[in-house]
A and B are shown apart, each in its own frame.
Chain A
Amino acid sequence: MSERLTLDPAALARIGNLELVARWVVEGFISGLHRSPHLGFSTDFAEHRPYVPGDDIRHVDWRVFARTERTYLKTYEADTNSNFTVLLDVSASMGFAHGGITKLAYAKLVAATLSWFSRRQRDRVGLVTFAEDVRDIVPPSARHLPNVLHALERATASGTGSLARPISKIAQSQPRRGIFLLLSDLYEPATDVLRALGPLTGAGHDVIVIQLLDAAERTFPFEDSTTFRDLESGERLPVSPGRIRARYVAAMDAHVTAMRAKLGGGRVDYRLVDTSQPLDRVLFDVLLRRAFLRTAV
């Protein structure tokens, strides 16, 4: 397994063709997992349960009824044709990189790969890009994978970012339950993030949040006293990195910790990803976690 976990995101980003990258990663990833039974969004037949008024009679197992004259419903662990929608933050802060690839480029790889993976599971895939508002929408569909990949490729980082407004719109436009994958650097307080995700979690959607951070955002390795400019607001701040590094790292760690605690408590699948990590390691962790959560459900 360890031999597989070497997909360098910078190398993948240089390929340029998201479809090719996604297919290559997924197929290689699957073959490397030896078709692990624990992974996947789709589920198989689970059990029969007695019919109760209000159930959809289309799910009645008429064969059982013919044999036993009792009405039973076929139930599944999950809908094999569920919606998988990627919510991609394309605000200007996602364009940051310090030596490696930008967070947005990394997010594109993750989004493309998981979309391909989902489509391989016969799920419908969709995409929403947003910054301070929704920018681009590809509705979930079994035939929209090329649209999703195309929209990913043309997405660029700009503008300020905000979760509440776009996610509220998305929740209203997606009545059908599905899986939402949020890719963002989450430069908002954890409570705000949780509040913003409320329309999705409240509607019964499965929400996966991947917070993408560059290593420099965690360790703040700068040396020279200089001015830092906010990528989104343009605000400038004179900073002596050596003097504040420790406090910065502590604040960032506290932010991540708070995010993990708040979102985990809100039954949101949260994952922090460093953009220097190999891509397949991220896929493995995310999918494994999804399997765990589903089993827990």
Chain B
Amino acid sequence: MPFLAPLLLLGLAAVAIPLLVHLVQRERRDPIAFPSLMFLERTPAPFTSRRNLRDPLLFLLRALAVIALALAFARPVFGPRPVAAGVDVRRRDVVVLLDRSFSMRIGDRWPRARAAVDSVIKRLLPGDRMTLVAFDRRARAVTAATSDAARLRAALDSLSLTDESTRLAPALSIAQQRLAAGDAPRKTLVVISDFQRSGWDLTDEARMPAATEIGVVDVGGVAPVADRAVRAVEVRRDRRPGPSQMLVSARLTNAGPAARGVAVRLEVGGRVIEERSVDLPRDGGASVSFAAVPAPPDPVPARVVLAADSLPGDDAVHFLLNQAPALAVLVLEGRDSPFLTRALAIGDTPGFDVTTRTPSRAAAADLAGRRLVILADGAFPSGIGAARLLRFVEAGGGLIVALGDQVSPRSWPAAARQLIPGQIRPAIDRIGANGAVLGSLDQQHPALALLSGPRAGDLSAARFYKYRSVDTTAGVLARFDDGTAALTEHAVGRGRVLTFGSTFDGLWNDLPRQPAFLPLVQQLARYAASWRDAPRALEIGTSVRPSDLSRDAGPDGARWIANAPSGARTTFGGNGAPTALELTEAGVHELRPGGSPGARPRLVAANIAPAELDFATFDVLRLTNALTSQPGTPGAARTTDAEAETLADREARQSTWWYLLLAATLLLVAESIVARRSVTRTPVLE
């Protein structure tokens, strides 16, 4: 019968204590008070009388109690010594993966997970070395491999929950590396998590080294999670006439029993703007729309907050509220046509600030503040000049050139030739053949990806009766059915130039009458202007680069200082600092350029990733199977079942020490009863 702590069997020597006490016992120190010594005789106790056991039963009870205590502390284990997956008593490399993602805030998951780690630490045997890895979306080894329980517990105490989502792969990658690098003959991996389905991102590379014992501790429990949450917020521009206002609506979800009259409020700049009461169905959701709120020109922090429940972390969604910045566009049209300007005017994300000029009347001043110039079938704008237009594009501006009948190769000055990807070909008339269609379309390209949606419209239905092509083979995004380039893209400096082989005014084609026209034009404008949607909120885990904050930032960007909602300060960008800020906390982060502490901060709102709020789980057997080598080949051993359990596992399961402790207690109780009967009662005095 093996023992978990055989050294403590030395405690069996304590059996001799009652005997020694008896043998060396002297006369009682406390004399017995007696009325008179008149009839007593001096009779000192002879030593020989102490050599005999006066009460064998009492001695037996005491000895058995000592034996039971010594055995209990030695932690006996019944059954044969485990031989599977290595030898039990040999030292192990243990890696514990501890999930600390947002979902671990539910109920008592985190305390139970910590207790599970503590249990693993307690069961470490001499020579075992353990590595504690905390993971959420990322993974970090909190300790190096160590057998120092105090150090491991200190590392455990230093860990706290995060707002991050869950990913298993990084943590398992670290575990794989640490276990492979360890030199112990036995290896053990313990994964402690709630095993969210959204956290599953494993590949075949996740297998652990051979003969690794894999233990899983599922702290998620079987009871469904009851939680109310704000899952999303939508901010739209109020199109009604009047001052610029925004409409805020939120999507609420409810997992659990129906809830009536749940308070939900909209806060802007820390002030409660409106509070509504909604009924949430059982295991369902509801939408709530707030009244229009004035849209400030600069972003202000706002949030939609739900009445707090047992998991308050997902009861609010933070976002920025402001007027959406408009994309300033200069449209140079050779002839007056409503299609292009109207298509842009009704744009929402972003709104388009359209200025229309004829090419001949356009001036250099018209470029000021513009991010896009659309030269829609007109002569080259000599008022702007080739050099100035070129600089505009090179500086990051966008240019869309529609090649109609008013564009001729000779009308473009030589200085502006590089704005066109190639030589402009003569117009092709296909009116006799019922027009041409687009033969190919690169719908993977960002400029056209919008058209790949199910209801985005079919651009192939458009008929092109006349068109020009550009003599180029590079950057072709779409071709007519005869193979000539219909839409090309090429970069000039930091800007983009899109060349369209037809017009937007409906004279050479019926494109404006196609449903795809409007999204096409708006997307081409956004793409050419390199416009990026400034999100009102980001997910936790998103990286923010200096270039996201300033168009003027260089490759490394300027240095920025970020203040997290918790007050933590981070520096990123510039030399020697992280290249990007990784959002790890829910709330509104304030970002200021380095060296400008008084500058108005850029705000970034961050929220829990929606995937982390999906509390569905996967079967832990799936994990153990994925980490185990193929059946029939030597590989990791699963310990989710009782098979191949360690000596400590078996001892913990048997808990023999508990019964021994109980037996010792009962023996001591019996001893006290017997002792009370046999020992002379002490006289009492008044």
Chains A and B form a bound pair: yes
Which residue numbers of A lie inside 8 Å of B, CB to CB?
93-99, 102-105, 156-157, 185, 187, 214, 216-217, 221-233, 235-240, 243-244, 247-248, 251-252, 255
The answer to whether A237 touches B37, judged by C-beta atoms less than 8 angstroms apart, is yes
Q: A221-B680, A251-B39, A255-B39 are in contact. Are A226 and B32 (CB under 8 A)?
A: yes
**Alpha-carbon separation in the docked complex, A281 to B40 (Å):** 31
* Residues in A neighbouring B119, C-beta threshold 8 A: none
The answer to whether B34 touches A228, judged by C-beta atoms less than 8 angstroms apart, is yes
The answer to whether B681 touches A248, judged by C-beta atoms less than 8 angstroms apart, is no
Interface string of B672-686 (1 = CB under 8 A from A): 000000011101111
**Alpha-carbon separation in the docked complex, A232 to B38 (Å):** 11
* Residues in A neighbouring B28, C-beta threshold 8 A: 224-227
**Alpha-carbon separation in the docked complex, A207 to B40 (Å):** 30
* Residues in A neighbouring B41, C-beta threshold 8 A: 237, 239, 244, 247-248
Closest to B683 in A: A98
- Other A-B contacts than A96-B33, A237-B40, A244-B41, 12 sampled, CB-CB below 8 A, are A96-B34, A96-B35, A187-B36, A216-B683, A222-B32, A223-B679, A225-B44, A226-B28, A231-B33, A232-B36, A238-B27, A244-B43
- Check if B45 is an interface residue, CB within 8 A of chain A: yes
- Check if B261 is an interface residue, CB within 8 A of chain A: no
- Check if B42 is an interface residue, CB within 8 A of chain A: yes
Q: A95-B686, A230-B34 are in contact. Are A243 and B43 (CB under 8 A)?
A: yes
- Check if B224 is an interface residue, CB within 8 A of chain A: no
Q: How far is the CB of A132 from chain B (nearest CB, A)?
A: 14
Q: A96-B34, A187-B35 are in contact. Are A239 and B683 (CB under 8 A)?
A: no
Q: A95-B686, A104-B686, A105-B686 are in contact. Are A224 and B680 (CB under 8 A)?
A: yes
Closest to A226 in B: B28
In the complex, which of the residues B35, B680, B684 contacts A217, with contact meaning CB atoms closer than 8 Å? B35
- Check if B31 is an interface residue, CB within 8 A of chain A: yes
**Alpha-carbon separation in the docked complex, A247 to B41 (Å):** 9
In the complex, which of the residues A156, A157, A228 contacts B37, with contact meaning CB atoms closer than 8 Å? A228
The answer to whether A227 touches B40, judged by C-beta atoms less than 8 angstroms apart, is no
Q: How far is the CB of B487 from chain A (nearest CB, A)?
A: 112
Q: A228-B31, A231-B33 are in contact. Are A252 and B45 (CB under 8 A)?
A: no
Q: A95-B686, A225-B49 are in contact. Are A230 and B36 (CB under 8 A)?
A: yes
Q: A222-B680, A225-B49 are in contact. Are A95 and B685 (CB under 8 A)?
A: yes
The answer to whether B680 touches A228, judged by C-beta atoms less than 8 angstroms apart, is no
Q: A187-B38, A225-B49, A228-B40 are in contact. Are A156 and B686 (CB under 8 A)?
A: yes
Number of interface residues of B (CB under 8 A): 26
* Residues in A neighbouring B33, C-beta threshold 8 A: 96, 228-229, 231
The answer to whether A240 touches B31, judged by C-beta atoms less than 8 angstroms apart, is no
Q: How far is the CB of A226 from chain B (nearest CB, A)?
A: 4
* Residues in B neighbouring A223, C-beta threshold 8 A: 679-680
Which 9 residue pairs across A and B have the least CB separation, nearest first?
A225-B45, A93-B35, A227-B31, A251-B39, A102-B686, A187-B36, A226-B28, A229-B31, A240-B43
Q: How far is the CB of A10 from chain B (nearest CB, A)?
A: 12
14 residue pairs from A and B, CB less than 8 Å apart: A94-B35, A99-B683, A99-B684, A224-B27, A224-B28, A225-B27, A225-B43, A227-B32, A228-B33, A230-B34, A236-B31, A240-B44, A247-B41, A248-B41
Interface string of B471-486 (1 = CB under 8 A from A): 0000000000000000
**Alpha-carbon separation in the docked complex, A93 to B35 (Å):** 4
* Residues in A neighbouring B37, C-beta threshold 8 A: 228, 230, 233, 235, 237
In the complex, which of the residues B31, B49, B686 contacts A157, with contact meaning CB atoms closer than 8 Å? B686
Q: How far is the CB of B443 from chain A (nearest CB, A)?
A: 103
**Alpha-carbon separation in the docked complex, A255 to B39 (Å):** 9
* Residues in B neighbouring A217, C-beta threshold 8 A: 35
Q: How far is the CB of B21 from chain A (nearest CB, A)?
A: 13
The answer to whether A231 touches B36, judged by C-beta atoms less than 8 angstroms apart, is yes
Q: A238-B45, A240-B43 are in contact. Are A98 and B35 (CB under 8 A)?
A: no
Which residue numbers of B lie inside 8 Å of A, CB to CB?
27-28, 31-46, 49, 679-681, 683-686
**Alpha-carbon separation in the docked complex, A187 to B35 (Å):** 8
**Alpha-carbon separation in the docked complex, A239 to B45 (Å):** 7
**Alpha-carbon separation in the docked complex, A120 to B43 (Å):** 52
In the complex, which of the residues A157, A225, A248 contacts B40, with contact meaning CB atoms closer than 8 Å? A248
Closest to B678 in A: A223
The answer to whether A96 touches B43, judged by C-beta atoms less than 8 angstroms apart, is no
Q: How far is the CB of B32 from chain A (nearest CB, A)?
A: 5
The answer to whether A229 touches B32, judged by C-beta atoms less than 8 angstroms apart, is yes
* Residues in A neighbouring B44, C-beta threshold 8 A: 225, 238, 240
* Residues in A neighbouring B686, C-beta threshold 8 A: 95, 97, 102, 104-105, 156-157
Q: How far is the CB of B37 from chain A (nearest CB, A)?
A: 5
* Residues in A neighbouring B42, C-beta threshold 8 A: 237-239
* Residues in A neighbouring B679, C-beta threshold 8 A: 223-224
The answer to whether A238 touches B32, judged by C-beta atoms less than 8 angstroms apart, is no
Q: Which of A221, A237, A247 has most chain B Cβ within 10 Å?
A: A237
* Residues in A neighbouring B34, C-beta threshold 8 A: 96, 228-231
* Residues in A neighbouring B40, C-beta threshold 8 A: 228, 237, 239, 244, 248
* Residues in B neighbouring A230, C-beta threshold 8 A: 34-37
**Alpha-carbon separation in the docked complex, A266 to B227 (Å):** 101
The answer to whether B45 touches A97, judged by C-beta atoms less than 8 angstroms apart, is no
Closest to A249 in B: B39
In the complex, which of the residues A157, A231, A238 contacts B43, with contact meaning CB atoms closer than 8 Å? A238
The answer to whether A97 touches B32, judged by C-beta atoms less than 8 angstroms apart, is no
**Alpha-carbon separation in the docked complex, A251 to B39 (Å):** 6
* Residues in A neighbouring B680, C-beta threshold 8 A: 221-224
**Alpha-carbon separation in the docked complex, A296 to B516 (Å):** 144
* Residues in B neighbouring A225, C-beta threshold 8 A: 27-28, 43-45, 49
Closest to B26 in A: A225
Q: How far is the CB of B43 from chain A (nearest CB, A)?
A: 4
* Residues in B neighbouring A99, C-beta threshold 8 A: 681, 683-684
**Alpha-carbon separation in the docked complex, A129 to B514 (Å):** 130
The answer to whether A102 touches B31, judged by C-beta atoms less than 8 angstroms apart, is no
* Residues in B neighbouring A247, C-beta threshold 8 A: 39, 41
Q: How far is the CB of B318 from chain A (nearest CB, A)?
A: 75
**Alpha-carbon separation in the docked complex, A216 to B39 (Å):** 13
* Residues in B neighbouring A240, C-beta threshold 8 A: 43-46, 49
The answer to whether A226 touches B43, judged by C-beta atoms less than 8 angstroms apart, is no
Q: Which of A99, A231, A252 has most chain B Cβ within 10 Å?
A: A231
Q: How far is the CB of A231 from chain B (nearest CB, A)?
A: 5
**Alpha-carbon separation in the docked complex, A96 to B37 (Å):** 13
**Alpha-carbon separation in the docked complex, A238 to B34 (Å):** 12
